[in-house]
A and B are shown apart, each in its own frame.
Chain A
Amino acid sequence: MIDRRLLEKAQDEFPLTVQPWASIGNDLGITEKEVIRRLRVLFRRGVVRKIAPALDARRVGLRASTLIAMKVPENRIQDVAKIVSKYREVSHCYQREHEFNFWFTIAARNEHELGKMVEQIRRGANIPEDEMLDLPSTRIFKIDVRFQLTSVSYS
């Protein structure tokens, strides 16, 4: 129960102060040491990925980005994933249930760089032009990856 409140607090209202764990502990009625100890355990068990600032891509110099969908034959998925994963500029890459079964997001400093990279990947993966969709965003309505922490499992 304390773990759940701790996770929620650190996820939703992280206190930006010199001693954040003390401040969180204060709110939860536990010591700073106890906060650090519990978070270490949650890290070890893989529940916590990281505690960090999430940056706005456009505001840190990545002005061009897009979502790419491709039709990749089932037996080539692994190989194509290997090619795509090599690019640090790719942030998400998933296999999905659809005719277009391979999806990834990619960002670059400008359109020119972005276009060059996408073309390089498409050729490298040997995907015909008409089996790929290039779907740049025109408007962002929401990015907020916070979860309701009703069932924390330690498995």
Chain B
Amino acid sequence: MMDNVDLEILLALQDGILLVREPFSAIATHLGIEPEEVVERLKRLREQKVIRKFGLFVRKSKVGVVANAMVVWEVPNSRVEEVAEFISKFREVTHCYERRTTPKWKYNIYTVIHGAERKTVTEFVKMLSDAVHVNDYLILFSVREFVRRSTGRIRPEASIAEVSDALDSVT
């Protein structure tokens, strides 16, 4: 279960903590609790997987990751789990989803793959393809980025009910 204090903490920190000695003290004071409690709550939220990850996010173009592609694969239904789990093991693969197919679009496994240059990505994908014996795939390199923000952003006006209900309904 999440309560209002959890919600206030996440709202205060979701856009980033400050580079001060005790980055959790300001919100603690605001809520009238000790910074230790903020930390304990964050740890619990991480255990409950409300927080997927707590940490530093780099700008990928600044750390030598310039080529990015969404690679979509057509994997037989019976092999989805095996193939997706294998592909997910690689650090170059940041996302791996199964998605609904349509008569116009047969691809069911979606991966986002990063590399230093296009050639690195293309070779890596070829290696994956050989390893899992899936030859039907498309490499969709990104040309321009228009929006890139956190997927799980809480709206400032969100109520504890809508957030907490959601937590209970996800297994």
* Interface set of A (CB-CB < 8 Å, partner B): 7, 10-14, 16-22, 32, 36, 39-40, 43, 45-63, 65, 67, 69, 77, 81, 84-85, 88, 90-98, 101, 103-105, 107, 109, 130, 133-155
Residues from chain A with Cβ under 8 Å of B100 in the complex: 135-138
Distance of A13 Cα from B96 Cα, bound (Å): 22
Interface residues in chain B, defined as those with a beta carbon under 8 Å from any beta carbon in chain A: 10, 13-17, 19-25, 35-36, 39, 42-43, 45-46, 48-60, 62-65, 70, 80, 84-85, 87-88, 91, 93-100, 102, 104-105, 110, 114, 116, 138, 140-155, 158, 162-163, 165-167, 169-170
Interface secondary structure of A, over-half rule: mixed
Which of B36, B97, B104 has a CB less than 8 Å from the CB of A141? B97
* B58, A149: Cβ atoms closer than 8 Å: yes
Question: Among A39, A56, A63, A137, which residue has its beta carbon within 8 angstroms of that of B97?
Answer: A137
CB distance A59 to B170 under 8 Å?
yes
From known contacts A62-B152, A97-B143, A141-B84, infer whether A55 and B59 are also in contact, taking CB-CB under 8 Å.
Answer: no
Contacts of A91 in B (CB 8 A): 147-151, 153
A147 contact from B52, B95, B114, Cβ within 8 A: B114
Q: Are A61 and B154 in contact (CB under 8 A)?
A: yes
Q: Tell whether, in the assembled complex, residue A94 and residue B16 are in contact, meaning their CB atoms are under 8 Å apart.
A: no
Q: Chain A: which residue is nearest B80 at the CB level?
A: A139
Q: Is A53 a contact partner of B51 (Cβ separation < 8 A)?
A: yes
Other than the known A47-B63, A54-B152, A139-B97, what 20 A-B pairs have Cβ atoms closer than 8 Å?
A18-B24, A47-B58, A48-B58, A53-B45, A55-B52, A60-B10, A60-B167, A61-B154, A61-B163, A67-B110, A81-B144, A92-B148, A92-B151, A96-B70, A96-B141, A98-B140, A135-B102, A142-B88, A146-B94, A152-B64
